[in-house]
Structure formats: C-alpha cells, structure tokens
Amino acid sequence: MMSFFDSFKVPARARTGLAGFGFAIVALMMLSAILAPWIAPYPVDYIDITRQLEGPSAAHWLGTDENGADVLTLLLYGARVAAIVGSVTVVACAFTGIFLGSISGYFGGWVDEALMRLTEILMAFPGILLAILIIFVTQEPSLLAVIGALSVTGWSGYARLVRGQVLVEREREYVEAARALGFPKGRIIFREIVPNILAPVIVQATFGVAGAILAEASLSFLGLGPQDSPSWGALLDQGASYFLLTPHLAIFPGVAIMITVLGINFLGDGLRDWLDPRAIQKT
C-alpha cells in the first residue's frame, strides 16, 4: 500500500495535523453532500440562459456553465455523487472481500484455490476497464450501475489482503483455543479472527474511497458515469469542451476532486499510524 509519509519523517504532531486536515476536508465534503439542497445558492435545476459561460461573479461565485446553471451549486450536489459512490462502493467491496477472503484463508484447499484464481482473473483488467465493459453492457449508466460495476471489480484486493492476514492469524493460539472450546467455524472466523485483522482493512478502505471517487470521476469523464445526477467528472467533461472560452468550468470540478482525494489520503495515512503502527516501522 502506498503512503506518502511512511518513509518520510514528519514530526508526530505534524502528522496528526495533516490527518486532522484530511479529516476536516472529508467532513466538509460530507457536510456539503448532506446539506447541498440547503446551502447551495440556487436550486439544482436552476438555469439562467441569459448568463451562460460566465466567469466567477458575486451572483455566481464559481461562474456558470453552458446552460447558465450555477457551477457552485452543481459542485455541491456533485459532492453527493462522490460521497455515495465512494462510501457505498467501499463498503460493498470491503464486506465481500472480508467474507470471501477470510473463508479462503481459513479453509484453504480448493475453495482458496478457486477464489484466488478468480481474483487473479478480475485483476487482469487494469483500472476501470472492466467497469467500462460492465456499464457498456448494462446500457444504463446510473448511480447504481456505476457502484455495481466498481464493486464487482473492487473486492478482489480486499479479499487478497484479508486472506493473507487470516493465514497468519489462524495459527495463533487464541484461534486454537477457540477451536478447542468447540466453537463453530463461522464464529471462529467472523467473531475471533476478523476483528483482529480489521486495522489494515480499514486503512485500505479509506484509500479505497479516494480510488472509488477517482474511478467514478473517470467514468463520468468518459460519458459512462451516472446520468441522473451531477457528477464532478461529468462537469469536468462538459467544462473541458469549453476550456478555450472559459477555463473555470474545467478548473473547479478538478480542484474539488483533487482536494477530496488529497484529504482522504491524509486521513488514510493518519488512520494507518493510529491503527496499524507496524506498517510504518519498515523504513
């Protein structure tokens, strides 16, 4: 797993500060997602055709798009799409990954073999390639389709991580004790082992939120994102066609994506320090 600071001696207080900064960004983004209808200066479907493609002004802080819609309003609503895609995708992937990965690691044998080969096949599709194919096939680029497509491909990383951890953990004494006590296998796996291996999964899931937001934005930029709601990637795509005229349309959605991803990465690094201190001792 990548970390920007794992090999880079930032004083403890600064690291906590960066993590706090990341948390603040994420909290701000969640707030704008939840409160979008109340804090947005205009309704989401508001357009003023007399003021198309205008730069930032007092009435429209971040300018207007080619239909005369307020860019700030669209960005605030776009935070909803990012928040939903980021969180739902990661929860779906992490749960599937924990479930299949722990079974794979605990039982071994043909179950393990089959599941690991399946993850290898899924991982042969780099980046958003399989998601592109799935959305193309289902023909309805909705929010749900995007989340589904990203989840189908995204769980394999979690499964492999969890499997590796379970392989180590199942030899430990407390697991043997649980076995000796005659606990059923399901309880040993999910109540004894899984709680002990959650730390790296949570850290990976945090970075996964950033990954899912970027993936959604990429799909939207390619015209394969949710068509039913304003997404940052789609805004950037529209903006890119006008950037000769008005660069602000392309700049602001990109800044929104970048700051969010940056914030989540800071937060992920902080969480890692806190939850999984072994990970940073290597270098």
Partner 1 sequence: MGRFLLRRLFSSLFVVFGVVTLVFFAVRAAPGDPVASILGEQALEIDKQALRDCLRLDEPMAKQYALFWGDVVDGTFGELCDERGATVMDKLVDAIPPTMELALASLLVAMLLALPLGILASTRPYSWVDNGSAFVALLGISIPNFWLGPMLLILFSLTLKALPNPGAAVTGLSALILPAITLGTALSGKLMRMTRSSMLEVLGQDYIRTAKAKGLPNVRVVIKHAFRNAMVPVVTVLGLQFGALLSGAIIVEKVFARPGLGTLLLDGIEGRNYMIVQGCVLFIAFTYVLVNLITDLLYGAVDPRIRYE
Closest distance of CB 99 from partner 1, Å: 21
CB of 152 to partner 1, least distance (A): 9
| 30, 111, 118, 144: residue in contact with partner 1 (rule CB under 8 A) | 118
Is residue 98 within 8 Å of 162, Cβ to Cβ? yes
Tell me if 283 contacts partner 1 by CB under 8 A: yes
Question: Does 174 help bind partner 1 (rule: CB under 8 A)?
Answer: no
Q: Does 26 bind partner 1 (CB under 8 A)?
A: no
Number of chain positions touching partner 1 (CB under 8 A): 53
Is 61 a binder of partner 1 (CB under 8 A)? no
Mark the segment that binds partner 1 (CB under 8 A) among 73-81, 119-127, 164-172, 270-278: 119-127
The residue from 205, 236, 267, 271 that contacts partner 1 (CB under 8 A) is 236
Nearer to partner 1, 198 or 251 (CB): 251
Task: Give the x-and-dash track for 185-224 against partner 1 (CB under 8 A).
Answer: -----------------------------x--xx--xxxx
Gap between the Cα atoms of 161 and 1, Å rounded? 10
Q: Does 233 bind partner 1 (CB under 8 A)?
A: yes
Q: Applying CB under 8 A, does 278 fall inside the site for partner 1?
A: no
- Identify which of residues 101 and 157 has a Cβ nearer to partner 1 in the complex: 157
* Contact flag: residue 8 with partner 1 (CB under 8 A): yes
Alpha-carbon distance 163 to 281, whole Å? 22
Q: Which of residues 125-154 bind partner 1 (CB under 8 A)?
A: 125-130, 132-134, 136-139
CB 226 within 8 A of CB 143: yes
Binding site for partner 1 (CB under 8 A): 2-9, 117-118, 120-122, 124-130, 132-134, 136-139, 214, 217-218, 221-224, 233, 236-237, 239-240, 243-244, 247, 250-251, 253-254, 257-258, 261-262, 265, 282-283
